[in-house]
A and B are shown apart, each in its own frame.
Chain A
Amino acid sequence: MSALGFLIKKEFIQFRRNRFVSRLVFLLPIIVMLIVPLVANMDVKGVNVAVVDMDRSGLSGRMVSHLEASKQLRVRLVVTDYRQAYDLLEAGKVDVIVTIPEGCEQTQMLGRMPDIKIDANAVNATKSGLGSQYVIASLTPLLTDGSAVLSPSVRYFYNETLDYRFYMIPAFIIIIIMLICCFIPALNLVLEKEKGTIEQINVTPVSRMEFTLSKLIPYWIIGMVALTEAILTAGLVYGLWPEGSLASIYLAALVFALAMSGFAITVANISDTMQQCIFVMFFFVMLFMLMSGLLTPLDSMPQWAQWLTVAFPPRWFVGIMRAVYLKGTTLAELAPDFLALAVVATFFCIVAIVTYRKQK
């Protein structure tokens, strides 16, 4: 066995001996996959509605019952005075006000669309947006009944139920790999500095390259184990199995792990204490999470920010993961993204090796 082999063996002994961290690393993917998709959920349920019925006709009565029948809506009250409903909106008791104007039934019988007004509390933009959509959806069949107006039929591809969970599961897998391949090796390396053990290694013939690699390889292996756990949990619990090939997921994850650990080692190299290291790491990991299309789409960012993300490893991995997981895109189709990810990975690894100074 070479020196590298012994260094890696030492890492594994230390990892095993640190009971808390080693257990946490193996439980983390399962816990994250079990809990987070259930709570981090953009579905809007229970939109509170107030109906201002100024028409008091047969049609307006049917409209109210249609709204009541909707699964997502909860009709809180039906009043005739707009003021009353508005007060409730201000108090936060209702999210959406549907106003049925006077003469609504007559207008409809004349074959025109009545002017229904929807007011929504947009403090929670998602809830108000979706809430109004739900109102429109539940009233459309009633109002267009018998008329020539066609309601557009929308079909959502790849995530047919528009389940936010399916969109987020690949993202959580990315966060798990990021935590394991980024935080642990970096803290591990800084610990060697703080404890002074790096001094003892530095007077041995172990090269810069070997030492850095010995910090990375174990976490690539552990990262892949965590990925497997996460894929299995997502499949068994939510029934979401990757559409595309597992091979391309693992390949992308491996290149991503390489990039993230290169980044981690760089941060560790420039920090002398754990405190510094954690702070710098957190700063970047936060940017990675918010700016890589994990939570919000890339396209909605300003152009300069989109350019900046070219150097962010998760930016490429998020795209690849979602495409392979949900669309079943093949490796060949994703070649440009893979290439970009590989370039970013190479870049971070070179920086990591250059910043590791054995001799000052």
Chain B
Amino acid sequence: MADAITVNHISKRYGTVEALCDVSFNVQKGEIFGLIGPDGAGKTTLFRILTTLLLPDNGSASVDSLDVVGDYRLLRTRIGYMPGRFSLYPDLSVEENINFFANIFGVTLEQNFDLVAPIYRQIEPFRKRRAGALSGGMKQKLALCCALIHKPHVLFLDEPTTGVDVVSRAELWEMLADLKEQEISILASTAYMDEGLRCNRVALMSEGRVLEVCPPPDKLEEYFIEKLGNG
């Protein structure tokens, strides 16, 4: 079975800053894979390359067996991306946002309702409210709902829990665990070590490099700090 995501020796620099340096790893199908690292580790750059928004300088990557550069058009129908910054239309209501994103992917809410139902039910009471007026946690749930509406094969979540309260964070990770059951592969980044424990495997990133790829060890934080010290 082919991997959900394959990253081969990807490098990217912005002027003199090396954002990514020879990054390689694989994400298996139906896996929750975590990218763990401090701010500035290159997590967002990696996301933007894998979601076809940015071209790598060197190396190649494929998602769902499609090349991120050559097959970008087809790939965009197979992936869901939730950027770190809330990127839905704040002046559209919850319902209008969901319908809009469903429509431009050529689907309807009803078609994929099973997939988004657990998330949608939580935001349904606010469906007439403008997205800009939602709380942080609700915004993330709506964003997840919109990212899932076209039933993507691979889901990319860039720091989905930043700025979200503890309860909503836990809820969000439970939702991801449910999605995993539906055989959606997930790549999520986080700066919180405790969230790393909820992943099947994690990649420890620092200064544009992957230090190690492993199942999360019990004492992830200590392990990571020790790794950083060695590197």
Contacts and interface: CB of A to CB of B under 8 A. Distances in A.
B220 to A, nearest CB: 30
A132 B81 CA distance: 74
A204 interface: yes
B83 A205 contact: no
25 contacts: A1-B103, A3-B103, A6-B103, A6-B104, A10-B92, A10-B100, A13-B92, A197-B87, A197-B88, A197-B89, A199-B53, A199-B85, A200-B83, A200-B87, A200-B101, A202-B53, A203-B53, A203-B81, A204-B76, A205-B73, A205-B76, A205-B77, A205-B105, A359-B72, A360-B54
A196 to B, nearest CB: 4
Given A196-B83, A199-B83, A200-B87, 18 more contacts: A6-B100, A10-B92, A13-B96, A14-B89, A14-B91, A196-B87, A197-B88, A197-B89, A199-B53, A199-B87, A200-B81, A200-B88, A200-B101, A203-B76, A203-B81, A205-B77, A205-B104, A360-B53
B6 interface: no
A83 interface: no
B52 A203 contact: yes
B146 interface: yes
A201 B55 CA distance: 17
B190 interface: no
Nearest to B100: A10
Contacts of B146: 200
A155 interface: no
B88 A203 contact: no
A199 B88 CA distance: 9
Contact of B52 (A10, A17, A359): A359
Interface of B: 51-55, 72-73, 76-77, 79, 81, 83, 85-92, 96, 100-101, 103-106, 146
Contacts of A204: 76, 101, 104-105
A300 interface: no
A18 interface: yes
Interface string A1-36: 101001100100110011000000000000000000
Interface residues of A, number: 22
A14 B92 contact: yes
Nearest to B103: A6
A55 B100 CA distance: 86
Contacts of A195: 87, 90
Contact of B104 (A3, A17, A196): A3
B18 to A, nearest CB: 18
**Main DSSP-derived SS at the A contact region:** helix
B106 A203 contact: no
B143 to A, nearest CB: 8
Contacts of A202: 53
A359 B146 CA distance: 21
A195 B88 CA distance: 9
Interface centre among B72, B86, B88, B89 (most CB of A within 10 A): B89
Contacts of B51: 203
A38 B55 CA distance: 57
A206 B103 contact: no
A13 B73 CA distance: 28
B53 A359 contact: yes
B178 to A, nearest CB: 23
Which of B52, B73, B90, B103 lies at the interface centre, i.e. has the most chain A CB atoms within 10 A of its CB? B103
A279 B79 CA distance: 38
The 9 closest A-B pairs by CB, nearest first: A6-B103, A200-B87, A196-B87, A203-B81, A3-B104, A196-B85, A199-B87, A205-B76, A17-B91
Contacts of A360: 53-55
Contacts of A205: 73, 76-77, 104-105
Contacts of B92: 10, 13-14, 17
Contacts of A203: 51-53, 76, 79, 81
A7 B99 CA distance: 11
Question: Looking at A1, A17, A200, A201, which has the most chain B CB atoms within 10 Å of its CB?
Answer: A200
